[in-house]
Structure formats: C-alpha cells, structure tokens
Amino acid sequence: MKKKSILELTRVSADDYRRMRKLPLALMADNVRSMHNVGSMLRTSDAFLVGEVVLAGITGRPPHPEISKTALGADESVRWRHADDSFAEAARMKGEGWKVVALEQAHGSVPLSDFVPEAGERYLLVAGNEVEGVDQRIVDIADAVVEIPQSGTKHSLNVAVSAGIALYSFYTKMTGK
C-alpha cells in the first residue's frame, strides 16, 4: 500500500467549503484555555462538516498565531462566533430547539458509542475547560451527557482529542459514512 501524495488528496477550496451543506451540529468550546486546542477543534470541525463553532467565555478566538498553527486554515473555512457566557448561550440555543449534549464524565452519562442523534434534530455538543470540564449548569440543562469510556490510568483525555472523537461519532452517525 502506498501513501497518497498531497496532489492526490483533492479537497474543496475554502470558498466551496463555506457553501457546502453542513451537519445540523454545532460545537461549543466552553471556556477552553489553550489556543492550540481551539485551533485543533476548528480543524476537526472542518473535517466533519460542523455547522458552527461557538467559542464561549474565555475561549480564545481568531486571529491568533497559536490557533492558526493548529487550525491550518480551518479558522478561515469554519463558521465560528464568540459568546461571552457559555451557559447563557447554551440555554439560548436550547430555547431555540437545539438539543444540548455535554461531553463530560457524569453520573448517568451515556457511552458515546451508544448515543444516536435523531434525524431532524439540531445538536449543540459542548466540550469543556481543560481543568473544570463542562460548566455544571450546562450539564444540568443538557438533553444528554455523553462520555468516552477509558481504561488507562488518566482520568480524562485532552479536550481537543475528546471533541474530535465525539465529532467523528456524530459525523458517522449523521452521514452514514
């Protein structure tokens, strides 16, 4: 098996990508401190047709060199916006009919592999702060709390890694790919 060259990896332009139909899925970065994590989440959102990324609270936003370093241009292709308050924005979106899904270790959480998005629904996936996780108030109003089962010695995964795993799960379940 031979690896594909960069010329064989055909991709759409940023302009074409912005015009493409996206999934009814938004990702919220809830007070994420690391700009590298923000860039990685934007890049992953580009890969999996996320409709919008909400950079909430203290989460950094483009333009920023550390975000650009990991986003590799996704900070220009993915639709993103800032919200001052993560909880207020999650509550507002829930009020507009979005299903809020917190990515968190919690009593009563559902393994990510068991969560199946319902057709016709819009989802807000919330990934939390590197130390504190998802704001408890968001967990309290969430329609679902999903958890990535783990078997190692560490208690958690990096937020960008967790978001990537969860976005891939939503993508495959929503597109059938």
Per-residue pLDDT of the chain (177 residues; tens, 9 = 90+): 999 998 898 889 989 999 999 999 999 999 999 999 999 999 999 999 999 999 999 999 999 999 999 999 999 999 999 999 999 999 999 999 999 999 999 999 999 999 999 999 999 999 999 999 999 999 999 999 999 999 999 999 999 999 999 999 999 999 999
pTM comes to 0.97
Residue 14 lies in a domain: no
Residue 65 lies in a domain: yes
Between CA 90 and CA 28 the distance in angstroms is 8
Between CA 26 and CA 45 the distance in angstroms is 9
Residue 128 lies in a domain: yes
Residue 8 lies in a domain: no
C-alpha distance across the termini of the chain, in Å: 22
Domain with 138, as residue range(s), is 21-175
Residue 5 lies in a domain: no
Contact assessment for residue 9 and residue 129, using Cβ atoms and an 8 Å cutoff:
no
Contact assessment for residue 80 and residue 62, using Cβ atoms and an 8 Å cutoff:
yes
Tally of structural domains, the chain = 1
Classified as helix, coil or strand, 39 is: helix
